[in-house]
Amino acid sequence: MSKLDEPFERAEVLDKPGIVGARWWHQGLAEAPKDASRRSAIMLALGAVGLAGVAAAIAVAADGCSDEETEVQRKQALDLQRTFGWSFGAAQESVTFDGESKKPFDQGALARMSTDLRPAEEALRAYYVPSLFESPHATPTVVAQGDPAPVTPLVNVLRPIFTQAMDRAYRSGKALASLLLAARTDSGLRRDILVIVDLDGPESVAFAAGAAEAFEPVFTFDNWPHPRGVVKAHLTLAAAAYYQPLFARSAAGPRATMFVLDRQRLSAYSDDAAQFDNRYVARLPAADALWDRGVRRVLYVVPTDLDTIESDDLNDDLVAYRARQLDVRMMAANVFAPDPAEAKPAVETEDWPPYYYGGGAASHGWFWVDYPWGPPRPPVPAPVEPSARVRRPGKLYTPTLRATPFSSGSTPGGAPRVPETFGTVPVVVALGTGVILGAALSRSGSWNRASGGYGG
């Protein structure tokens, strides 16, 4: 028995040819006397519409039309959104943008976002995931029978954001880039160092924007926003819209590589009646692929010095990197801070205040001591060690194999195992046809206000 235990009164038409689920059919059956035979009930329904609907009505009658012929199934969230629209199941709801930017905004540029934020280096495009950046202009290909409310295009509601957390992340990324720029050799920027940024989405985007002069970003955001999304992907998208002009004009030429992740991709999730599970797992290059690119050192960037363990879906990858003789270290983004002793300029610019490793201009070069991947020559003047108040546990980090919900179960570095229901949402499906009738969210959705809707 399904949970569709209310009288079946379908008010819309299925979107596929040859399938009838219209009001006249169900009302015709409902109005038949309770003791009428099935044949009599069918004839009453046919009489309501004439001979034009005979063939279709018989097809429905053959399969039956009781509530028992639907069930709740789980489907991949992103597939549903691509088909039915970004706000599938909550078309009359929207998203909010805390920290909305007041700068002029070229909405037309959003159509170029997936191109503007694509890696310039051809070899890196195989790892680029443009899903999030494709969402603003995506249009539904099907209207769900049980949830026919029009979907407002995401481009019409998207607004760029800029927050204090993004500003700090941007300056931290710029500080890291300055270290690599200072270590430039006659042959150009070093490319043996790979950076993996694993901050909350908006801050990861901002960090990558600040570091763009020295690092080419490879974005890996494999989901879409949703009004009830577990992952607040609309904020990551809004941050990308803010920095899009910067990425579009980023420095040309070979740079080191930076993989950009959203730390919220594995957010806790418990209520499928009120939440839309738009989570996903990160996918990084195999260890051999990095080695072949000349990468010998991996810097994994986390939010704070309290974060001492990698995200669950990265454990196998980082262990595999270490097994391939890559030197894998961790660094907290909050190790970068402004120097309180530095005098404020008479005329402040957007670059003020600059951030430094260890929170001081004198300690900035100490990065190469904590991470002995050294520049070709010692910094002049010699750096001083950061204050003891600046905790730096990441320099001692070593990835260690551990059991996680995403463990490959075989050799580290294999394809991550994704839990069966991860990144899926419940939908109501017509068993006879396999047609998805609507999202099985809470009763506040338009599908669930209809008679016969799923009540959760």
Q: What is the pLDDT of residues 68-119, one digit of tens each?
A: 589 999 999 999 999 999 999 998 899 999 888 888 888 999 999 999 999 9
More confident residue, 42 or 260: 260
More confident residue, 327 or 271: 327
AA letter at 408: S
Cβ contact 192:135 at 8 Å:
no
CA torsion angle for 439, 441, 445, 448 (degrees, to 10)? 80
3-state secondary structure of 385: coil
In angstroms, the CA 217 to CA 209 distance is 8
For position 419, what pLDDT does the model report? 87
pLDDT at 29 exceeding the cut of 90:
no
For position 442, what pLDDT does the model report? 53
Domain ranges of the chain: 94-396
pLDDT at 381 exceeding the cut of 50:
yes
Which of 159, 154, 158 shows the shortest CA–CA distance to 86? 154
Instruction: Assign 20 a pLDDT band (cuts: 50, 70, 90).
Output: very low
For position 441, what pLDDT does the model report? 73
Over the chain, what is the mean pLDDT? 82
Which of 279, 293, 287, 292 shows the shortest CA–CA distance to 317? 287
Average pLDDT of the segment spanning 146-168: 93
262 burial level (CB within 10 Å; 0-12, 13-18, 19+):
buried
Instruction: Assign 171 a pLDDT band (cuts: 50, 70, 90).
Output: very high
In angstroms, the CA 438 to CA 431 distance is 13
pLDDT at 17 exceeding the cut of 60:
no
For position 83, what pLDDT does the model report? 95
pLDDT at 176 exceeding the cut of 60:
yes
In angstroms, the CA 316 to CA 374 distance is 27
Q: Tokens for 430, please give them.
A: 């017509």
pTM of the full structure? 0.82
For position 416, what pLDDT does the model report? 65
CA-based end-to-end distance of the chain? 14
More confident residue, 299 or 2: 299
Q: Where are the alpha helices (DSSP H) in 222-375?
A: 233-248, 287-292, 315-323, 367-370
